[in-house]
Amino acid sequence: MRVTTLNCGFHGDIRGGLKAVEAALLQVPEAVTEPHMFRLEAHVSGDLSVADALQWSMHTPADSRAFWADRSDEVVVAGIGEAWTLGGLGWTVGDGLESLQRLMAPAPKRLRAFGGLCFHRELRSSGAWKAFGAWRFAVPRVELGRDSGGVWLAAHVQGSPKDWTRRLAEAQAVITRLLLVEPGDHHGASTRPEVNYQSIKDVPNVDGWREAVRAALAKIESTSLQKVVLARQRRVDLATAPDPLALLARLAAHEPDAFRFCLQPTAESAFVGASPERLIRVQGQHVTSEALAGTRPRSSDLAQDNAWAAELLASEKDRREHRLVADMVAETLTELCENVEPHGEPTVMALANVQHLHSRIEAQTNGVPSIASLLLALHPTPAVGGTPRAAARSAIETLEGFQRGLYAAPVGWIGGAGTAEFTVAIRSALVERDAISLFSGAGIVAGSDPDAEWSEIDGKIAALWLAFGLGRGER
């Protein structure tokens, strides 16, 4: 696929950028002789916060949307509509990601396809996850973004010779519709969604959970399985339809140091989350991954906060769990890269609400790194799957009783100029038209107590519940 970028110049505000893109659409040819994507980009003055980007997207009419903000707010992108999608059945994921990386390689760095691949690499996704496919990526029709180079507004037109006229007309219609939104319509709107729930269902329920954990413990005692991360789903049926981005805005305010994301392929389904964990970052021949395992809370009292950090660093149990993940990541990168730097001793990564043991693992490749190979080799890490990997995955599929979909799976983007970034999609939820499903898990090892693990997950789900503004939910 050929990619052409049209620079629309510098404009004072978002509306001016839209008008510049509308004018630039007249420069796009009325026909093409090969598959082609045009990116029309206007520079916009001022700054763009995560909250501003979410507000703009929330109040821009669209059935499909995407949102990404990395942990340091270095890259923030709000996308509406879809100009181009790529996805397929589970057995196509390796070749499909290789093809996507190849197609994106000559594109400018800011051009990104956002998406993810399901946890289990199912043949196909079903039920509530059907719209996401076994793997799926999309380039937004229109996006508002910010990086170190400033703020931009861009539109994309993609098509082949046979459908080019229709695709160009679709892009023109979207820009026209956006210009009908009154300036300032998105400013000052509440990020507090009015969400009233009708019923709650835990999958599995407490008895099913106890049975699953006991079965996992039996496997740990009698097989090579050492650890398995079992998850729970809490489905909340709603009285009113929620806005996924309004929910994400609430969550982002609680988790400002996380990777914040939304994938919404249709009006009926969206996946949102705020995860602290990077799976992989690729910048040319430089590859970065990390281990994030071992946790303590934060405190507004500096002495207590420092005490918890010191306790975390001194905990042999937490350091052992962390070393397991760090060693696995380093060994995997060693198989795929030519030069892997030793990760050394872990440090404490202090986030807004918790602090973790953290190790950064850096690597270099002599050639172009395969993003598909990196993702498929690193996922799932012991932190979300278990060890050994094959035995843990088999136990999860047998014991959990629900489809994980994108929960705890790689979610992120593949971009131009040999760039990509993916998070591990924990602290996340599936948002449907009339329900929200919250997910969390716990690592089961020899000696684990089913009721204690149930309570631990209850605490994690309660934090998501409150962040989403669902109330205290007396049950």
| pLDDT digit string, tens, across residues 166-178 | 999 999 999 998 9
d(CA 363, CA 360): 10
Q: What is the mean pLDDT of residues 152-159?
A: 96
Q: CA 122, CA 407: separation in Å to the nearest integer?
A: 13
- Note the pLDDT tens digit of each residue in 130-146: 999 999 999 999 999 99
**Structure confidence by residue, pLDDT tens digits, 20-30:** 999 999 999 99
The pLDDT, as a whole number, for residue 195 is 67
Those residues with Cβ within 8 angstroms of residue 205's Cβ, 6 or more apart along the chain or in another chain: none
Q: Is the pLDDT score of 2 beyond 80? A: yes
Quote the pLDDT of residue 123: 60
Share above pLDDT 90 across residues of the chain, in percent, rounded to a whole number: 72
pLDDT for residue 189: 43
**H or E stretch at 420:** strand 419-424
- Please say if the pLDDT value at position 217 is more than 60: yes
Say yes or no to pLDDT of 158 above 50. Answer: yes
What string of DSSP letters covers 21-63? HHHHGGGS-S--SS-EEEEEEEEE-S---HHHHHHHHHTS--S
Q: What mean pLDDT do residues 301-328 have?
A: 90
Q: Which residue has the tokens 């769990």?
A: 321
Distance (Å) of CA 350 to CA 6, 74, 346, 410? 42, 18, 13, 23
Q: Strands 339-340 and 2-11, how do they pair?
A: unpaired
Mean pLDDT of 181-199: 59
DSSP for 224-240 reads: S--EEEEEEEEEEEESS
Question: Which of the 8 DSSP states describes residue 242?
Answer: P
Q: What is the pLDDT of residue 88?
A: 87
Q: At what angle do helices 450-467 and 244-254 cross, to 10 degrees?
A: 110
Could you report the per-residue pLDDT of 361-420, keeping only the tens digit for each?
999 998 899 999 999 999 998 889 999 999 999 999 999 989 999 999 999 999 999 999
Extract the runs of DSSP E, i.e. beta strands, from 239-310: 259-266, 269-275, 278-283, 286-297
pLDDT higher than threshold 50 for residue 164: yes
Classify residue 379 by its DSSP letter.
P
- CA pair distance 296, 318, nearest whole angstrom: 10
pTM over 0.85: yes
2-11/36-44 β-pairing: parallel
Q: Which amino acid is at 257?
A: D
Residue pLDDT, tens place only, 6-47? 999 877 899 999 999 999 999 999 999 999 999 999 999 989
**Can you tell me the distance from the alpha carbon of 117 to that of 410, in angstroms, rounded to the nearest whole number?**
6
Distance from the Cα of residue 127 to its chain's centroid? 20
Can you tell me the distance from the alpha carbon of 4 to that of 303, in angstroms, rounded to the nearest whole number? 56
Instruction: Say yes or no to pLDDT of 184 above 60.
Output: no
pLDDT of residue 183: 59
CB 426 within 8 A of CB 410: no
The secondary structure element, H or E, covering residue 157 is strand 150-159
**Structural contact between residues 79 and 110, judged by C-beta atoms closer than 8 angstroms:** no
322: left (phi over 0), alpha (psi -120 to 50) or beta: alpha
pLDDT value at position 188? 41
- Residue 97, φ and ψ in degrees, nearest 5: -70, -35
Helices (H), 357-449: 371-378, 389-399
Residues 147-171, mean pLDDT to the nearest whole number: 94
Residues 415/421/424/430 CA torsion (nearest 10 deg): -30
Specify the residue for token string 């969206």: 270
Least confident residue range of 60-64, 110-114, 288-292:
60-64
- C-alpha span between 319 and 323 (Å, rounded): 6
Percent of the chain with pLDDT over 70: 95
The SS3 call for residue 45 is: coil
Structure tokens at 38: 């045009």
Mean pLDDT rounded to a whole number for the chain? 90
Least confident stretch, 26-30, 58-62, 216-220, 430-434: 58-62
Positions of E strands within 123-173: 135-147, 150-159
For 437-463, what is each residue's pLDDT tens digit? 999 998 898 999 999 999 989 988 888
Closest CA to 410 of 117, 174, 120: 117
The answer to whether residues 52 and 254 touch, using CB atoms and an 8 Å cutoff, is: no
Start-to-end CA span in the chain (Å)? 54
Question: pLDDT grade, residue 321 (50/70/90)?
Answer: confident
Q: Is 188 left (phi over 0), alpha (psi -120 to 50) or beta?
A: left
Q: What tokens appear for 170 in the block?
A: 């679709």
Pairing of strands 286-297, 386-387: unpaired
Q: What is the pLDDT at residue 474?
A: 41
How far CA 265 is from CA of 80, 112, 310, in Å, comes to: 10, 16, 44
> Can you tell me the distance from the alpha carbon of 199 to that of 208, in angstroms, rounded to the nearest whole number?
19
**Do residues 279 and 423 touch, judged by C-beta distance below 8 A?**
yes
Query: Per-residue pLDDT for 466 more than 90?
Result: no
Give pLDDT, residue 324.
84
Predicted confidence at residue 292, as pLDDT, reads: 87
- Would you please indicate which residues are annotated as catalytic (active-site) residues? 227, 277
Residue 365 DSSP class: -
